[in-house]
Amino acid sequence: MGSTDDVIDLIHLADRPGTSRHSVSVRVLGRSQPGNLFGHDFLECEIVMVAESLSASFPVTLLPEDLEDWEDTLPTLESGRSAMWLASGRTPSLTFKPDGHDRMSVSAHDEPSSGVSVVVPLFALPTGWADKQRDLLTRVHEVYPREVVETSPGAYEWHRRSDT
């Protein structure tokens, strides 16, 4: 993994400045197995949840499909409907429950490892929060482009983009 300078957010939901300072983030720490054909596009991340005296973090490895699922989840959340992300059972899951009034509760449930659940209420999401999440996702794709393709079931090869 890279240095702490390489950490970028995939998700960052936080109350507007001057409110409760509650936040939920998914921070990308780096590639899981850089240079290894099978694990190169997996991303080592951490879910970070903060509310008053609580600070919780859960390690998670994201697959390229997880990023696609997050992109598909955003319109559901933006429309005010609840959604779960990372529901495969191999990682902690996140459940988002917007209330339609710039508020959302976010829960993390670490079933596969610790069994711990944490819920953070976000009381005052800023205008444009969903667009910000799309921008963060775009940034993750720019910094960590998909470089391995599955050519047939179980067969992988490098697919590097040309800079020229």
One pLDDT digit (tens) per residue for the chain, 164 residues: 444 458 999 999 999 887 888 999 999 999 999 999 989 999 999 999 999 889 999 999 999 999 999 999 999 999 999 999 999 999 999 999 998 788 999 999 999 899 999 999 999 999 999 999 999 999 999 999 999 988 999 888 998 665 53
Please, which residues have CB within 8 angstroms of residue 17's CB and are 6 or more apart in sequence? none
What is residue 162's predicted lDDT score, i.e. its pLDDT? Answer: 54
Residue 48 in contact with residue 10, Cβ under 8 Å?
A: no
The torsion defined by the Cα of 154, 73, 83 and 121, in degrees rounded to 10, comes to 120
The domains found in the chain, sorted by start residue, are 4-147 (2.30.31)
Judge residue 143's burial from the number of C-beta atoms within 10 Å of its C-beta, 0-12 exposed, 13-18 middle, 19 or more buried. Answer: middle
Specify the DSSP element, H or E, that contains 148.
Answer: strand 148-152
What is residue 161's predicted lDDT score, i.e. its pLDDT? Answer: 61
